[in-house]
Amino acid sequence: MNFIFGSANGIGNSLYKIYKENNLPVYGFDKISSNETDQIINLSDINNFDGVLDLLNNTDIHSITYCAGIQNQTTDESIFNVNVLAFIQIISNIFPKLNNAVICGISSIHSVASNKDNQLYAASKAALESAIKSFSISGSNSYFYFLRLGATETNLLLENVKDVEGLKNSLPSKKLFMPDDVGELIFDVNQNHKNLFNGGYIQIDQGVLSELSTE
């Protein structure tokens, strides 16, 4: 089974549909109902995952893709719970039963080069990357990697960026990534190239970090 956390919108939604189009089993978790949500979950409540863990521990897992994330929340705890602590708790609890699975986490270039008033989001994504690296060397025969993404046209971006056109024009490529393109990349790695990326990452950033490094 291919599990996706954050399947109702954005990259997770696109990835869910790609699995379906390829006639592969897929199961989606999200906080809101959708055609691609098989189970409602509140990732900010990290003490209430028993049903999810029971399902994961009793299913053959091919992949888990963690797309869930929030950026603009009123409490520090919510950001860290959703963006990293829920991931750590879930993977820690099912770690002993993982067998030749692939685990992908969606990170952000904010983990290494952020902007003002974005400290919590940036820190949570840096923590997610560190957690994935740690899992990759913890004695499993499974594969752990993350995507460090630049600006992608998801609800998360549209809800938190006031001037989307201005953002586009500031990018070296003058384009946002589209969720379908990122979903296709994740699908290809999860299905065909997982052995290449254990403990590593794929960085696609529209050239933003290259530009920052020359300033």
pLDDT tens-digit map of 70-122: 877 666 668 999 999 999 999 999 999 999 999 999 998 878 777 677 788 88
Give ∠ CA 79-43-176 in degrees, rounded to 5: 60
What 3-state DSSP class applies to 40? strand
Predicted TM-score (pTM) of the model is 0.88
Q: What does the domain layout of the chain look like in residue ranges?
A: 2-152+178-205
pLDDT score, position 74 = 61
Local structure of residue 162 (DSSP, 8 states): S
First-residue to last-residue Cα distance in the chain: 45
Q: Would you give the distance in Å from CA 142 to the centre of its chain?
A: 17
Q: Which stretches of the chain drop beneath a pLDDT of 50?
A: 212, 214-215
Task: Specify the pairing of strand 39-40 against strand 143-149.
Answer: unpaired
| Residue 170: partners with Cβ closer than 8 Å, 6 or more residues away | none
Quickly tell me which residue has 């393109």 as its tokens: 181
CA distance 128 to 87: 8
**Is 2-152+178-205 CATH 3.40.50.720?**
yes
Residues in the chain: 215
